[in-house]
């Protein structure tokens, strides 16, 4: 999927412009689903090296086509997958608009994962800046802030 590749390419491009950040791995949807043994089918899984440590995360690139009930079901599946120690504990949702982000956030609760959301255009403009809003917070954070999780 082109938008997912664009997400990771943009993140990689900006990381290459620094000495302290790097995308060390990234998997597309099919490889991610295989790694997760079909329990979840994220759009991607990546690992990012930051000055504060490594961050492994799932990416869900929302297209505003799923109802809240479908998002709730996805979160049940992600909680099940989170039992595994070899899978990420951070789930990032990227939305097409602030309106969609506000609409979807109530359905994204997780007992086992840290979940954060942003807007796709913000990621394109400034992927390493504080654009990610954790579900349990009211201040947007940078990806590096999640390396302390």
| CATH code of domain 2-139 | 3.40.1350
Give the three-class secondary structure for 44.
Answer: strand
- Between 148 and 50, the more confident residue is 50
Across the chain, mean pLDDT equals 94
Residue 148 in this model has a pLDDT that exceeds 80 = no
pLDDT at 147: 82
Residue 7 has pLDDT above 80, yes or no: yes
Listed by start position, the domains of the chain span: 2-139
Q: How far is residue 27's CA from residue 43's CA, in Å, rounded to a whole number?
A: 9
Write the CB contacts of 17 (distance below 8 Å, at least 6 apart in sequence). none
- Give me the mean pLDDT over the 73-91 stretch: 94
């Amino acid at each position: 999927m082109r938008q997912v590749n664009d997400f990771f390419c943009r993140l990689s491009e900006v990381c290459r412009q620094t000495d302290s950040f790097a995308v060390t791995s990234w998997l597309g949807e099919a490889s991610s689903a295989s790694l997760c043994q079909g329990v979840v089918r994220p759009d991607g899984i990546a690992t990012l090296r930051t000055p504060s440590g490594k961050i492994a995360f799932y990416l869900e690139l929302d297209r505003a086509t799923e109802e809240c009930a479908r998002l709730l079901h996805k979160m049940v599946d992600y909680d099940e997958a989170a039992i595994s120690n070899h899978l990420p504990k951070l789930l990032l949702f990227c939305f097409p608009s602030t309106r969609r982000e506000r609409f979807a956030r109530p359905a994204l609760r997780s007992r086992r994962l840290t979940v954060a959301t942003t807007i796709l255009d913000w990621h394109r403009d400034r992927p390493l800046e504080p654009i990610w809003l954790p579900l349990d917070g009211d201040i947007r954070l940078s990806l590096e802030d999640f390396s302390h999780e």
